[in-house]
Structure 1
Amino acid sequence: MKKTASSKDAASEKISAKKASGTASAKKASAKKATAKKATAKKAAAKKAVPVKRQAPAKKPAVAPKKATAAVKGVAPAKTVAPKQPRDESRTALVRRARRIDRELAEVYPYAHPELDFENPFQLVVATVLSAQTTDLRVNQTTPALFAKYPTPEDLAAANPEEVEEILRPTGFFRAKTKSVIGLSKALAEDFGGEVPGRLEDLVKLPGVGRKTAFVVLGNAFGRPGITVDTHFQRLVRRWRWTEETDPDKIEAAVGTLFPKSDWTDLSHHVIWHGRRICHARKPACGACPIAPLCPAYGEGETDPEKAKKLLKYEKGGLPGQRLKPPRAYLDAGGKPAPPLAAG
Structure 2
Amino acid sequence: MTKQERADYIRNRLGELYPQPPIPLDHSDAFTLLVAVLLSAQCTDLRVNQVTPALFKLGNTPARLAAAPLEKIEAIVRPCGLGPQKAKAIKELSRILVEEHQGEVPASLEALERLPGVGHKTAQVVMAQAFGVPSFPVDTHIHRLAQRWALTDGKSVVQTERDLKRLFPEDSWNKLHLQIIYYGREHCPARGCDGTVCEICRTCFPKRKKPVETRKS
CA-to-partner distance for each residue in 1:98-146, whole Å, 9 max, x for gaps?
A: 1211110111122323210011000000000000111100000100111
For 2:138, what is the secondary structure of its paired residue?
coil
Structure 2 residue aligned with 1:294, among 178, 194, 204?
Answer: 204
Which amino acid in structure 2 is aligned with residue 260 of structure 1? P
In structure 2, the CA distance between the partners of 1:296 and 1:217, relative to structure 1 (3 Å rule), is: farther
> Does structure 1 residue 209 correspond to structure 2 residue 115?
no
Per the alignment, residue 173 of structure 1 pairs with 82
In the other structure, the counterpart of 1:137 is: 46
Q: Which runs of 5+ in 1 are unaligned?
A: 1-84, 86-92, 302-344
Equivalent residue, structure 1, for 2:160: 251
Query: Structure 1 pair 224/141, CA: closer, same or farther in 2 (3 Å)?
Result: same
Question: Which residue does 2:105 correspond to in 1?
Answer: 196
Flag the 1:268–1:185 CA change in 2: closer, same or farther, 3 A.
same
Report if the CA contact (8 A) 1:240-1:297 is conserved. Answer: no
Deviations 1:245-288 (A, max 9, x none): 32111211121111121111111111111111111112318555
Amino acid at match of 1:221: A
| 1:234 correspondence with 2:143 | yes
SS in 2 for 1:292: helix
With over 3 angstroms needed to count, the CA separation of the structure-2 counterparts of 1:270 and 1:296, relative to structure 1, is farther
Residue deviations 1:44-100 (CA, integer Å, cap 9, x gap): xxxxxxxxxxxxxxxxxxxxxxxxxxxxxxxxxxxxxxxxx5xxxxxxx32222121
Measured against aligned partners, the alpha-carbon deviations of 1:150-177 in whole angstroms (never above 9, x if no partner) come to 0210111111111111111111111111
**2:58–2:68 Cα contact (<8 Å) kept:** no
Could you tell me which residue of structure 2 aligns to residue 54 of structure 1?
Answer: none
Among 3, 14, 30, the residue aligned to 1:121:
30
Cα deviations across residues 301-336 of structure 1 (Å, max 9, x unaligned)? Answer: 7xxxxxxxxxxxxxxxxxxxxxxxxxxxxxxxxxxx
Q: Secondary structure at the match of 2:167?
A: coil
| C-alpha separation in 1, matches of 2:55 and 2:207 | 42
Q: What's the CA shift for 1:298?
A: 5.2
The DSSP-based 3-state class of the residue aligned with 1:236 is helix
- Aligned partner of 2:191 in structure 1 is 282
Cα distance in 2 for residues equivalent to 1:147 and 1:255: 34
Higher helix share: 2
CA RMSD of aligned residues (A): 1.8
The structure number with the bigger radius of gyration is: 1
SS across alignment from 2:155: coil
Structure 2 distance, partners of 1:150, 1:240, is 42
Check 1:283–1:122 CA distance in 2 against 1; reply closer, same or farther (3 A cut).
same
Residues 216 and 228 in structure 1, CA contact (< 8 A), matched pair in contact too: yes
Tell me whether 1:151 sits opposite 2:60 in the alignment.
Answer: yes
Distance across 1 between alignment mates of 2:104 and 2:138 = 25
Is 1:242–1:255's contact at 8 Å kept on the other side of the alignment? Answer: yes
For the residue of structure 2 that corresponds to 1:257, the secondary structure is: helix
Q: 1:245 to 1:155 in 2, by over 3 A?
A: same
Q: What TM-score does the superposition give when structure 2 sets the normalisation length? A: 0.90
Aligned residues: percent identity?
43
1:98 and 2:7 are equivalent in the alignment? yes
- Structure 2 distance, partners of 1:111, 1:282, is 26
Give the match for residue 336 of structure 1.
Answer: none
**Counterpart residue type for residue 134 of structure 2:** P
- What TM-score comes out, normalization by structure 1 length? 0.58
Change (3 A) 1:198 1:169: same
Q: How far apart are the structure 2 equivalents of 1:244 and 1:194?
A: 41
- Residues 239, 295 of structure 1: 8 Å contact kept: no
For 2:200 and 2:147, the matched residues in 1 are separated by 18
